[in-house]
Structure 1
Amino acid sequence: MELRTSLGKAALAKVMGRLIESLEGVLLYRSNGAWFIKVLDSNFIEKFYRLPVQPLDSRGKPIPAGSYVSLVNRVRSAFLDAGGYAEFFSNCSYGKMVFDRQAFTVVSTVVPCSLELVNKCDEDVISTAAQAQLQPGFLNSGLFTQLVYVLPDGMLFTCNWVGLAELPGTQSWFTPDSQGIFSKGTVMQELLHNFGLYHGWKDGVEYMDDSTSMGFGDSCPSAPELRLLGWATPLAQLNSSSLPVGVYMTYTLTATYVKSSGVMIWIQPDWLGSLYNSESIISCKAAAQTCLSSTFISCCRNIYLALRGRAAGDQDLLQDYNGKVSMHEVIQDMDNNGTLGVIDDPKVSITGVLRPSASVALFNYKVHILTGALSNSGTSITIKICRFTESPAECEDVPS
């Protein structure tokens, strides 16, 4: 299981539908301080369910007594309305991940309370109990590939997460609030766990890459995540065979939101020898002892460069990354083999950004990178990359 905690915010297949679990009825208040929801079942018999606390709306405001409480329409709108999750996933995947709007189904179910559900927040108990309330054969229609469960109000502090998902798998669970099911970053993170993506990292800390929904961001996946998903492809794949020593190679990168092909530079620094070509993660860790930085993060890693811009699926990209080149590192063996959600976390880690007209020497990788000015209304940038032996002073431009 992979989760998005409440501290900050919480492969390719056609996503055919979603199953949502919630209570639906009139909110009531009793003089003893208790809150209830009155539900009319299929036989038109009134049933009353006690809530642990007064429920909150999507803005975190208390819902007054007498209100009709229903997550069904709000959840459907969050996915299918203009600017909703369906559009978000389509933009980020360049149309490769699509919600079937006809098959998309939101169902309200009443789940009996139990110790495992109320006190232990057992997600398997929740899903089993919710499915038991459905009409026989409902899930055997072949229409649904993924199941999403929205918990009742008041479960956040019991569960201690706002989103949880199988990795890989078909199920995910959310709290019914602005950090859970009504957060597009949380929803994308959990659903992409189902398709094999792990969390984003920064400075050795999980979740901390806020340039992607796989961390604490509300934007599209990062360049290595896009490639692992099969949503986008590199402009150049650089290794000892394609990147000569002492010569700048020049490329024009287009922002990832513009198109899917040729939107990243994928560097495989195999010229580092044993520091790169170790046969296992364990030997990579051993090799790290001789790295210049003496940290695992700089050994056995591939490098990704990609221009990000605030538009389309990335319209909520943080300003820290807007109009700049993001740099990520990924454990090389899983990255080179295209392993997605099978063996271990490849630890996709953001290591920094390059502004236009910048220069950076990555001595651990023996690479020098130069960026030019933004062009084409800010959607493109020129990048020069050189591999050196001892110093960037060895690097020269290729005569035109």
Structure 2
Amino acid sequence: MLVHADLHNSQNDPVWAISRDDGAIIPLDNTTFNPPPEVHVGAYLNLTGELLYDGIVRPTAYDRFVCSGFGICSWTDSWRKDPYSRDDYPSDPSTPTSPKATSPQRLLVMILNYSACGYPPGVNTSTVRSLFLGPNGDGTAGIALKYSQCSYGTFGIDALSFRAEVVAPSSCNTPANTLETCKWWNIANDADAAAKSLIGAATYNAFTHFAYVLPPGLQYLCPWPSMSLLPGQKIWLQTSSQGLNRWAAVMQMTLHNYGLWHSWKNGYEFEDYSSVMGSGEACPSAAETSRLGWATPAATINSTILPTTGTWRSFTLPASYLSGRANHLRLTPNWLTTYNSSAEGKNLYIDVRVAKGGDETLGSLYAPKLNVHEVNAELDNNYVTPTQLPVGYWPPTDGFSDRKVSFVSGVSTGTRAELTAYKLVVTWHSEYSDGYR
């Protein structure tokens, strides 16, 4: 499967990789691999290439697995650098990754022990277990609680299957310069091999997701606080206040695995502090929770609902921390002449944010307020209402595409916001005077 490595830095490391069926990561050469629009992240590829250095591969040919709206799936010739033919198509993928995060993770956390190389681990298994599952280890606190709060109990960590192990990769620099140049793919592949040797391959394969906790001494060699695959099953965490010890960072990395990209504000990535997908210490926005399968809209508003200028409609919404059921509005402003433009068309998501529950640390710019986010309409529509009938449980084509979720406005109770770009006026009147339930 084609995945994107979110490195949170500007290094020239590979950003595209193949996640093999056995979990191994094969990084692809940045200089020669630039997937065309029809090859989306999350696509299943049968790829051949040239092995370069440090395990990096330069693709020479690939086929992709394509499903039609009539239920026909097949491997299709996609790209050839050189004349090439193939008659050995693999069997059809049977377990495609889904953008829905609607079942608990069976998580294995690998604490990397590079003591032989001068990089001992910075935490033990008890500390890691407490961080993820709380001091009682039952998932009622810690990161697991945040997952449960934000997903309304839909998503979380299976406390019974959760496991943390200290693993010692067999070598410091095999392949060459794994640590000195932070070959994140080798770090994961070597840790997987060590973990399978320690707990057994069958036990390892029973986990659905994997986290790699790096020793503190590697922070200056790996210049990112955390990273992950999008989509995928793996995240990497530094032992730091911006990595393992920050629940929002762990959650952001985890949700990258399910296809969520970063959130924006005013044209700047990460500047949305209303969501963990930006730089916030709060639950994802409605544009994000709806994609994960955690929230449903109270209404979808278009030119049928607002047929003429001056038309008003009112809706009752719960604060988003209370419930995911009918907790936001989804607007598809097809009254705009730019709406059908693939670049300019936008959809809006509106929800009520209050600093309680999983959102308790929201600042005054976002709570208590109506939050308005915009997303790319074409990518959003292709997921919510796909143009082709879904085949089995295969996700729609744009299930993992970057819709560029962006914060637009926060509307206080009793005030109005004129969203002139959308020919829309938004007002909010709270029924409560005791804290905006």
Q: TM-score, normalised by structure 1?
A: 0.75
Question: Quick check: 1:103–1:143 contact (8 Å CA) kept in 2?
Answer: no
Q: Does 1:94 align with 2:183?
A: no
- % identity of equivalent residues: 34
Larger RCO (CA within 8 A; separation ≥ 6) = 1
**1:142-221 → structure 2 map (5 Å cutoff):** 142-221=205-284
* Counterpart residue number, 2:105: 16
- Relative distance call for 1:348 and 1:23 in structure 2 (3 A) is closer
* Counterpart residue number, 1:2: 6
- Relative distance call for 1:341 and 1:198 in structure 2 (3 A) is farther
AA matched with 1:315 = E
- Relative distance call for 1:350 and 1:307 in structure 2 (3 A) is same
Q: Does 1:260 align with 2:324?
A: yes
**1:291-370 → structure 2 map (5 Å cutoff):** 299-338=344-383, 342=399, 344-370=401-427
Bigger Cα Rg: 1
Question: Quick check: 2:346–2:375 contact (8 Å CA) kept in 1?
Answer: yes
- Relative distance call for 1:312 and 1:340 in structure 2 (3 A) is farther
Larger fraction in helix: 1
* Counterpart residue number, 1:113: 172
Matched residue SS, 1:353: strand
Matched residue SS, 2:217: coil
Q: Supply the distance in 2 between the matched residues of 1:341 and 1:99 (Cα, whole angstroms).
A: 27
Candidates 119, 140, 151, aligned match of 2:202: 140
Q: Supply the distance in 2 between the matched residues of 1:256 and 1:329 (Cα, whole angstroms).
A: 17
AA matched with 2:378 = D
- Relative distance call for 1:116 and 1:376 in structure 2 (3 A) is farther
Candidates 120, 140, 143, aligned match of 1:85: 143
AA matched with 1:224 = A
**1:264-279 → structure 2 map (5 Å cutoff):** 264-273=328-337, 275-278=338-341
Cα deviations by residue, 1:322-361 (Å, 9 ceiling, x for unpaired): 2111110000011122268756310000012011111122
AA matched with 2:202 = N
Q: Supply the distance in 1 between the matched residues of 2:312 and 2:358 (Cα, whole angstroms).
A: 33
Q: Supply the distance in 2 between the matched residues of 1:350 and 1:189 (Cα, whole angstroms).
A: 17
* Counterpart residue number, 1:377: 434
Cα deviations by residue, 1:119-167 (Å, 9 ceiling, x for unpaired): 1211110011112212447343353110100011122222111111110
Question: Quick check: 2:382–2:398 contact (8 Å CA) kept in 1?
Answer: no
Q: Supply the distance in 1 between the matched residues of 2:372 and 2:201 (Cα, whole angstroms).
A: 43
Structure 2 stretches lacking a partner, 5+ long: 11-99, 135-139, 384-395
Deviation at 1:102, TM superposition (A): 0.9
Q: Does 1:104 align with 2:104?
A: no
Question: Quick check: 2:102–2:292 contact (8 Å CA) kept in 1?
Answer: no
* Counterpart residue number, 1:41: none
Cα deviations by residue, 1:80-127 (Å, 9 ceiling, x for unpaired): 014301111011011111211111010101122114321121111001
Count of aligned positions:
321
Q: Supply the distance in 2 between the matched residues of 1:85 and 1:334 (Cα, whole angstroms).
A: 30
Deviation at 1:234, TM superposition (A): 1.0
Cα deviations by residue, 1:19-76 (Å, 9 ceiling, x for unpaired): 223356xxxxxxxxxxx95xxxxxxxxxx55249xx8xxxxxxxxxxxxx54321111
* Counterpart residue number, 1:74: 127
Q: Does 1:231 align with 2:231?
A: no
For the aligned residues, what is the CA RMSD? 2.3
Question: Quick check: 1:96–1:231 contact (8 Å CA) kept in 2?
Answer: yes
AA matched with 1:100 = D
Query: After alignment, is 356-365 or 190-199 more displaced?
Result: 356-365
Q: Supply the distance in 2 between the matched residues of 1:77 and 1:17 (Cα, whole angstroms).
A: 16
- Relative distance call for 1:165 and 1:23 in structure 2 (3 A) is closer
- Relative distance call for 1:155 and 1:49 in structure 2 (3 A) is closer
* Counterpart residue number, 1:384: none
Deviation at 1:263, TM superposition (A): 0.9
- Relative distance call for 1:370 and 1:261 in structure 2 (3 A) is same
Question: Quick check: 1:196–1:341 contact (8 Å CA) kept in 2?
Answer: no
Q: Supply the distance in 2 between the matched residues of 1:223 and 1:239 (Cα, whole angstroms).
A: 18
Matched residue SS, 1:106: strand
Q: TM-score, normalised by structure 2?
A: 0.69
Matched residue SS, 1:181: coil
Cα deviations by residue, 1:192-240 (Å, 9 ceiling, x for unpaired): 0000100001111111111100011111101100111110011111001
Matched residue SS, 2:178: helix
Cα deviations by residue, 1:240-263 (Å, 9 ceiling, x for unpaired): 112232221111221100011111
Structure 1 stretches lacking a partner, 5+ long: 25-35, 38-47, 56-68, 285-298, 381-400
